[in-house]
Amino acid sequence: MSNRRFLNSKAIAKIQIILGFAMVLLFGNSCERKDLYLRVNGIDIEVEIYDVRLDLLWGIDWETEWQYTWNESAADFGTIGYTKPELIKGTIYSVDSYTGKRYSSFFKIFDSNGGRVSLTAGSTYDMLFYNFGTEYTSFYQSDDYETYTASTRMSTLASYIRTRGESENSEMPDTIKTYQNYNQPDELFGSLASNLKISEDPSTYEKEYDEYGNLSYIYKVDAALRPYSFVYMYQVVILNNERDGKKVITGAKGFTISGLAQGVDLFTRRTFDNTISVSTDEVKPIQNHDDVRLADGTTIENADILAARVLTWGLPGITPIETTKAGTKAPLLDDNYIGIGFTLSNGYSHEPTIDITEQMHNKPAGGVITIYYDANNVSDEEFNRRPQSTGGGFNANVEDWSNEINAEITI
């Protein structure tokens, strides 16, 4: 019996699909982009995702711009960029071949060894893949299957930025400039393979023979996993950070960045229009560096640097990867500020808010943001304030008692 007759048999109601994932997220151009394949072996279709690279990295120069030593050996550069996802959730949608509308769905969790799922021969499907096991990301699927969104959960962290991102040049009403504080999202990577027609006719597939001479039929699908959430690396270069033989700024309790998108549509990859603030309290310890590069390209002998890695959905109202690839700036839906909770040598806090709008909109899909801050902005009053006492108890001087009171005590 021929393969054509075998696949067209009415007795075959289902086609088995094996999904195997082997993902390596690379940062250079050394890895050739490969596609996802559906291999038809008899009644089986095998789906494999090969090594992929992150196409979004055009225009992002992590190593050249970054000055902070992330760890002692400075060898683990991956902690600055992205990490490899492990578990993958596959959501499979049945699609009406005439209207193109999705009318049902089911999902399955896959590990790096893949899995098995049944599809109906002759039908059309959309397949959405993203890494599973997220903690700080909320997902919402609309009843008509037309939208599937990921958004950021509310934060319990303290905010180091004012609640309204005012700007002297902004004409937006105050109600638009009110930010809520959110956690960072998880690292999220995904891919949507649309309009997959599972043909019953093997002649519609490309032919391939394996090493044993067995014939396979191959259907290629563009399914490169790309990030939905983006890494911004913030380094704060502190200038003139010594006064009276002491450090002025000794660290930071946290950063908050405003004017960021609250979520993203997983089908279109477009970020939400509404803006939020995202906070992190994971700030690396202060480091002193020699030959620190300034904004104008010159260097100074030494300066102190603080650093943090922040994940966001990116800027609002755009598709960040496409905007980056096009070499264009994101449209200005809102200003971006960073609020920094500096810790002073006396234990008090100094909390400036700095406009970083231009840098953020030049890097809509992540990158290095450098902030230069002059410690001379800390006033002498703040710097000389006496450290807060941690002691307790009552301490009164009898000389302060001006009125003498005599009274009899009955026992």
Q: What is the pLDDT of residues 309-346, one digit of tens each?
A: 899 999 999 999 888 877 777 777 778 999 999 999 99
Q: Are residues 102 and 197 in the same domain?
A: yes
Q: How is residue 136 annotated by DSSP? A: S
Calpha distance 313→151 (Å, rounded): 8
Question: Residue 231: which H helix or E strand, with range?
Answer: strand 230-239
Q: Which two tokens stand for residue 189?
A: 């990577």
Calpha distance 134→151 (Å, rounded): 11
Strands 230-239, 367-374: pairing is parallel
Does some domain include residue 151? Answer: no
Q: What local confidence, expressed as pLDDT, does residue 388 receive?
A: 61
Q: What local confidence, expressed as pLDDT, does residue 67 receive?
A: 86
Residue of 103 and 204 predicted with greater confidence: 103
Q: What is the pTM of this model?
A: 0.77
Asked if 279 contacts 181 with a C-beta cutoff of 8 angstroms, the reply is yes
- Mean pLDDT over 283-297 rounds to 91
Q: What local confidence, expressed as pLDDT, does residue 206 receive?
A: 74
Does some domain include residue 327? Answer: yes
Calpha distance 245→69 (Å, rounded): 25
Q: Are residues 96 and 217 in the same domain?
A: yes
**DSSP states of 341-391:** EEEETTS-EE--EEE-HHHHHH-TT-EEEEEEEEGGGS-HHHHTSPPPP--
Q: What local confidence, expressed as pLDDT, does residue 126 receive?
A: 92
Q: Are residues 217 and 284 in the same domain?
A: no
Beta strand ranges found along 22-110 (DSSP E): 25-26, 36-41, 44-49, 52-53, 88-95, 102-110
Calpha distance 276→316 (Å, rounded): 9
Each residue's pLDDT tens digit, 95-121:
998 999 999 998 877 765 555 566 777
Question: Which of 67-71, 231-235, 262-266, 267-271 is predicted least confidently?
Answer: 67-71
Asked if 266 contacts 148 with a C-beta cutoff of 8 angstroms, the reply is yes
Calpha distance 368→61 (Å, rounded): 8
Tell me the pLDDT of the chain averaged across its residues. Answer: 74
Q: Which two tokens stand for residue 404?
A: 């003498």
Each residue's pLDDT tens digit, 153-177:
877 666 666 544 444 444 445 554 5
Q: What is the pLDDT confidence band of residue 289, given thresholds at 50, 70 and 90?
A: very high
Candidates 49, 48, 41; CA nearest to 16 is: 41
Can you give the residue range of the structural domain that contains 372? Answer: 230-383
Q: What local confidence, expressed as pLDDT, does residue 363 receive?
A: 87
Q: What local confidence, expressed as pLDDT, does residue 133 receive?
A: 79
Residue of 188 and 399 predicted with greater confidence: 188
Question: CB neighbours of 95 closer than 8 A, spacing ≥ 6?
Answer: 101, 102, 103, 123, 124, 125, 126, 195
Is pLDDT of 29 > 60? Answer: no
Does some domain include residue 300? Answer: yes
Q: Are residues 365 and 349 in the same domain?
A: yes
Q: Are residues 209 and 241 in the same domain?
A: no
Q: Are residues 252 and 108 in the same domain?
A: no
Q: What is the pLDDT confidence band of residue 16, given thresholds at 50, 70 and 90?
A: very low
Q: What is the pLDDT confidence band of residue 379, given thresholds at 50, 70 and 90?
A: very high
- Burial pattern 251-284, b for ≥16 Cβ within 10 A else e, equals bbebbbbbbbbbbbbbbebbbbebbbbbbbeebb
Sheet holding 367-374, edge to edge: 284-293, 299-312, 230-239, 367-374
Q: What is the pLDDT confidence band of residue 394, given thresholds at 50, 70 and 90?
A: very low
Please, what sign has the CA dihedral across residues 65, 70, 71, 76?
negative
Is pLDDT of 3 > 70? Answer: no
- Burial pattern 70-90, b for ≥16 Cβ within 10 A else e, equals beeeeeeeeebbbeebeebbb
Q: How far is CA 191 from the centre of its chain?
A: 16
- Mean pLDDT over 217-244 rounds to 84
Question: Residue 190: which H helix or E strand, with range?
Answer: strand 189-197
Q: Are residues 119 and 221 in the same domain?
A: yes
Ramachandran category for residue 46: left, alpha or beta (phi over 0 → left; psi -120 to 50 → alpha): beta
Does some domain include residue 137? Answer: no
Most confident among 147-156, 203-212, 240-249 (mean pLDDT): 240-249
The last residue of one of the domains, among 227, 251, 286, is: 227
Q: Which two tokens stand for residue 128?
A: 């959405």
Calpha distance 376→380 (Å, rounded): 9
Does some domain include residue 74? Answer: no
Q: What local confidence, expressed as pLDDT, does residue 248 receive?
A: 97
Does some domain include residue 390? Answer: no
Q: Are residues 238 and 222 in the same domain?
A: no
Q: Are residues 214 and 348 in the same domain?
A: no
How many structural domains comprise the chain? Answer: 2
Calpha distance 188→315 (Å, rounded): 16
Does some domain include residue 324? Answer: yes
Which residue reads 């920094």 in tokens? 340
Q: Are residues 10 and 39 in the same domain?
A: yes
**DSSP states of 56-81:** GGTT--HHHH--S--SSS---GGGTS
Q: Are residues 119 and 254 in the same domain?
A: no
- Burial pattern 26-57, b for ≥16 Cβ within 10 A else e, equals ebeeeeeeeebbbbbebeebbbbbbebbbebb
Is pLDDT of 400 > 80? Answer: no
Q: Are residues 221 and 321 in the same domain?
A: no
Each residue's pLDDT tens digit, 345-378:
999 999 898 999 999 998 888 889 999 999 999 9
Residue of 120 and 238 predicted with greater confidence: 238
By the 10 Å C-beta count (0-12 exposed, 13-18 middle, 19+ buried), 136 is classed as middle
Is pLDDT of 147 > 90? Answer: yes
